[in-house]
Structure 1
Amino acid sequence: MTWDPRGKVAVVTGASSGIGEATTRRLAAAGMTVYAVARRTDRLEELAGAHPTVVPHTADVTDQDAVDALAARVREEHGACHALINNAGVGGGAFGGRDDLDDALRTLDINVGGVVRCTAAFADLLEAGAPSRVVNMASVAGKLGIGPAAYAASKFAVVGFSEALSLSWASRGITVCQLNPGFIETEGFPQTQVKRTPMARLVGRPEAVADAVVDVLANGRTERTVPTFYRAFVALRHLAPPLYFAAAKRLDRAGGTRD
């Protein structure tokens, strides 16, 4: 049976722009009450002003007390959560040595620690709302190690965390999905480097990912790549590694940047 979003409660982190904002709008339009979570209060209030079922909530996913307070609010107001979209994330910069350590650790803390904190805080609420969904925003960079090293590492971790939970949490009625976008142009990820190359045509929009989130929620998928043609690159990585690495080394991002 298809999962019906109407009347259900969702939490979306990183909701103030890009994929998170597009997803919040899409879920609200589908009939869900959506807790839009981010650090920028003004952006969240603007979003809520345009969508009456969007609830703005300012929080930083690196702050465990703030995450716990968010979960407590959802528990008090609804008693359950039906969908958790762990989307908050940052890109990070190139890793060249000791000078880049703080940036790398911050990237890992937000992209991995934020996912783990939120998933832990909402575990009981998701079980109470079962059948429920967790969608962890990973990346094709979580399958292919190209670009900033800490960013790639963080997304590899999100892929592994999601895959393990998809198996261990199935018995609780919670479906956990790794959603892997390719190059998506957003405020935080302008894709400037890619748009200077013939691969510019591969750059997508946040709305395509938001549509994929809705599909994942409806069908209970545990893995989704968007756009789907990026799966060919992942297949090449595993089926023909020499050919993949020969091609990858020619990309600008092989230098560890996303400039």
Structure 2
Amino acid sequence: MSQSYQLADKVAVVTGASSGIGAATARRLAERGMTVVAAARRVDRLDRLASEQARIHARQVDVTDTESVDALAADVREQFGACHVLVNNAGIGGGPFRSRADLDDAMGTIDVNVFGVMRCTAAFADLLEAGAPSRVINVGSVAGKLGLGPAAYAASKFAVVGFSEALSFSWAERGITVCQLNPGFIATEGFPQEQVKRTPIRGLVGKPTDVAAAIEEAIVTGTTERTVPRFYRPFVVLRHTATPLYRAIARKLPRATGTRD
């Protein structure tokens, strides 16, 4: 791993840090010497996380509330004076999209997964530019490349991929590297992957620590796109280079039903 970007003594903000990928990332970055602002709604979980490591600081935030996100950015500015890395990890899965009854759930998924990323990125933009060279890591999903699973979830992650790719070009001149980091099947509290574990591809299910390691790598190397685990990347390539073959395979996968059951 290249050491072009030193982590020690820099400030990172990690959303969705009360469990899963966010908690694993907060721990890993703190172990590397970063001051980590671990942000989420569940303060009790954050406090336990912060008690493990003096470099982790718990802060409550609701990424669906613009005032809450703005208050977090103001607090980080006042308390720490900088933000060098923003990890937009907060996200929810959502259910199947079958009828009008599912609309509110779908809209809620979009609000957290898309507008939450936008709110946080906007709120920290000035701090990131002031601390340049800096990093934004937007945790998307392979579902944002392949369109498998609950429709609103896939749509939200496609949006995160597009938002990240566009910003990676337009924010480069500001000294801010924006990365779309796309995990495959990762077993977490919110995404236990039980559906996948019941199939022959259960060996593809990864752990939150796998993603945390990839996030560290993306920060250090300044990459603008990363798939984790890496062996998912051929599926993405297949989607664009051999679409009929991809669709024939995808139709047989559990997520083609539009659920996570």
Q: Same fold (TM over 0.5)?
A: yes
| Structure 1 residue 79: Cα displacement | 2.3
Match of 2:232 among 230, 239, 252: 230
Alpha-carbon distance in 2 for matches of 1:186, 1:78: 30
1:198-220 CA deviation, whole Å, 9 max, x = no partner?
A: 11000000000000011011010
Give 1:23's aligned residue.
25
Give 2:255's aligned residue.
253
SS state of the match for residue 8, structure 2?
coil
Give 2:87's aligned residue.
85
Alpha-carbon distance in 2 for matches of 1:249, 1:218: 37
Equivalent residues of 1:6, 1:30 under 8 A apart: yes
Instruction: Indicate whether 1:220 and 2:218 are aligned.
Output: no
Runs of 4 or more, structure 1, over 2 Å off, are none
Alpha-carbon distance in 2 for matches of 1:125, 1:253: 39
Equivalent residues of 1:79, 1:128 under 8 A apart: no
Alpha-carbon distance in 1 for matches of 2:169, 2:133: 15
Give 2:10's aligned residue.
8
Q: Percent identity?
A: 69
Report the residue type matching 1:134 in the other structure: V
Alpha-carbon distance in 1 for matches of 2:47, 2:221: 31
Alpha-carbon distance in 1 for matches of 2:250, 2:153: 17
Alpha-carbon distance in 2 for matches of 1:120, 1:12: 15
Give 1:133's aligned residue.
135
SS state of the match for residue 133, structure 1?
strand
Alpha-carbon distance in 2 for matches of 1:79, 1:27: 18
Alpha-carbon distance in 2 for matches of 1:230, 1:253: 15
Give 1:98's aligned residue.
100
Report the residue type matching 2:241 in the other structure: L
Give 1:113's aligned residue.
115
TM-score with structure 1 length normalisation? 0.99
Match of 2:165 among 145, 163, 166: 163
Alpha-carbon distance in 1 for matches of 2:223, 2:236: 18
Report the residue type matching 2:169 in the other structure: L
Alpha-carbon distance in 2 for matches of 1:252, 1:220: 34
TM-score with structure 2 length normalisation? 0.98
Match of 2:126 among 118, 121, 124: 124
| Structure 1 residue 253: Cα displacement | 1.2
Structure 2 gap ranges (5+) = none
Report the residue type matching 2:155 in the other structure: A
Alpha-carbon distance in 2 for matches of 1:128, 1:71: 13
Report the residue type matching 2:102 in the other structure: D
Q: CA RMSD in A?
A: 0.6
Count of paired positions: 259
Equivalent residues of 1:162, 1:178 under 8 A apart: yes
Give 1:239's aligned residue.
241
SS state of the match for residue 36, structure 1?
strand
Match of 2:182 among 180, 183, 202: 180
Report the residue type matching 1:17 in the other structure: S
Alpha-carbon distance in 1 for matches of 2:34, 2:236: 33
Alpha-carbon distance in 2 for matches of 1:69, 1:164: 26
